Chain A
Amino acid sequence: MISRALPAIVLLGLLVLAWQLVALHNAFLIPRIGAIWAQLTNNPREFFDAAGVTLEECFVGLGASFVIAFSLAVAMTYVGLIERAVMPLAVILNVTPVVALAPGLAIALGFGFTPRFLITGIIVFFPLLVNSLVGLRSIDPEALQYFRSLHASRREVLVHLRIPSSLPFLFAAARICFPLAIIGAVVSEFTTAGPGNINGLGSLIEIGIGSTELSVVYAAIFCLSLLGLAFTLVVVAIERRVLAWHPTAGPSA
């Protein structure tokens, strides 16, 4: 275990060292490691609360988006018309950079949570929709025929065949979408940051830049990385349990 992780640890150590060397001579470009650490340990509450806010935005955006995307995918599976209506618009939404939408949405919807949920939801919507759709369709045709030989209802085919078949795709989507959701949350916080607003980690970055407190900026970034890492590990752990039957279930994360 140690020996496997060793190359990464050594490389990380070298990068930290290089960072520290640059920071010692150019404190106005990047903060020293000690200063970032001091920010985190002096105001743990502030970062903890901000992380909670960002996490909430991610989960609400992701959750709502998943419910809508999956329901739409189920509808598309059975009604071709819905797919022809929704898919082109979803593609347009997907190719539009969400970052560009964020300021406008903040003006339209205020500087509270609403635009943040919306941005986060939009950014993960397309991968969720496509993966759900492909997953629900990835059924074994012989299994479908077997279900039909027992006159299984559409609902039974959905519950006992389509949804279990879609799980590997949904987990793949989860791994893509959480980092995306964090991006959405941070970007939306940039445009809604300000005194009196509820601050997430993105807001702290925006405020830190404004007040040239670089150590705050990088402390917030450090927290965001931890958040992404923690989520990935949780998804992988759940996936290993739930998808134990799937051929891809294996040691690789």
Chain B
Amino acid sequence: MSSEDAGLVVAGVSKTYGTKDGRTLALDDVDLRVPKGRFVTVIGPSGCGKSTLLRIIAGLDPPDRGEVSIFGESAEFARRAKHIGFVPQALALLPWRTVLENTQLPLTLNRSADTLRTEPTRDPVDLLRAFGLGDVLGRRPAELSGGMRQRVAIARSFVHEPAVLLMDEPFSSLDELTSEVLRRELLDLWQSARTTVVFVSHSVSEAVLLSDEVIVMTRAPGKIAARIEVRLDRPRGDLVEVTGEFREVERQVRLALRGAPAGGGLP
């Protein structure tokens, strides 16, 4: 297996932050392997270093120890080549740009990267139309509902066909009904693109619904406590949440979050 097929590899990554009361170990020897085309969700209590891990994978923050490789290249290279699609928690849409202009941003910025990559980009208008935003192309973010703004941020992260999609609790600010709809839309979009995804979440059912694998983290220091495979059929059925298998995976994740060993051996 060549390193390119390995997908996204996080090997022995540690990160310490200096705070006013000393140094905090945010991540302690974290290993993660996400094969190409897999959807992996990292879940854990706040302060467990989920966002830090995402920032390190995105090449925004260097790890103190360990390394990240993305399809055989460094995180820094992946960033330079625009292989990263990032959905920050606060979305970071530009208020002066319209929906269409915001979605075009990844195509406008860092054009020199276009020579480093072979993947064709998507047409922003088609993407927005497919995402139900065809009627609001000329609107500005402030004129949209929270759910629509979220859709714009997701469309923006797909438009340059990134090799890796990193999403930091993108639905945490939405009401449950809206995020329910958006999770399904994200799944549809992902089903057609099959991008490698690292998704950060603090909702167990969200993690199980979306992912092929759920990574459970503990806090202080941020460590991986359990990895739980989600063997549910793709595309996920309409009512998959009420099936016994779904409930069983949820139960494993919840137990892992409480610190109990996950998987077999439990009643």
Contact = CB atoms under 8 A, between A and B. Distances in A.
Contacts of A244: 140
- Tell me the interface secondary structure of chain A in the complex: helix
Interface in B123-171: 140, 142, 160, 166
A3 interface: no
Given A146-B88, A245-B96, A245-B142, A152 B110 contact: yes
A152 B95 contact: no
A145 B95 contact: no
A143 B113 CA distance: 20
Interface string B25-64: 0000000000000000000000000000001001110000
Interface in B79-105: 79-80, 82, 84, 86, 88-92, 94-96, 105
B110 A161 contact: no
B192 interface: no
A150 B88 contact: no
Nearest to A143: B92
A145 B92 contact: yes
Nearest to A247: B142
B96 A150 contact: no
Contacts of A247: 142
B146 to A, nearest CB: 16
B109 interface: yes
Contacts of A245: 95-96, 140, 142
Which 8 A/B pairs are nearest by Cβ-Cβ distance?
A149-B86, A142-B92, A143-B92, A146-B92, A152-B109, A142-B90, A245-B96, A142-B88
Interface of A: 140, 142-143, 145-153, 156, 160-161, 164, 167, 244-247
Given A151-B113, A156-B109, 6 more contacts: A143-B94, A146-B88, A150-B79, A150-B82, A156-B110, A247-B142
12 contacts: A142-B91, A145-B55, A145-B86, A148-B60, A149-B60, A149-B86, A150-B105, A150-B106, A151-B110, A160-B105, A245-B95, A245-B142
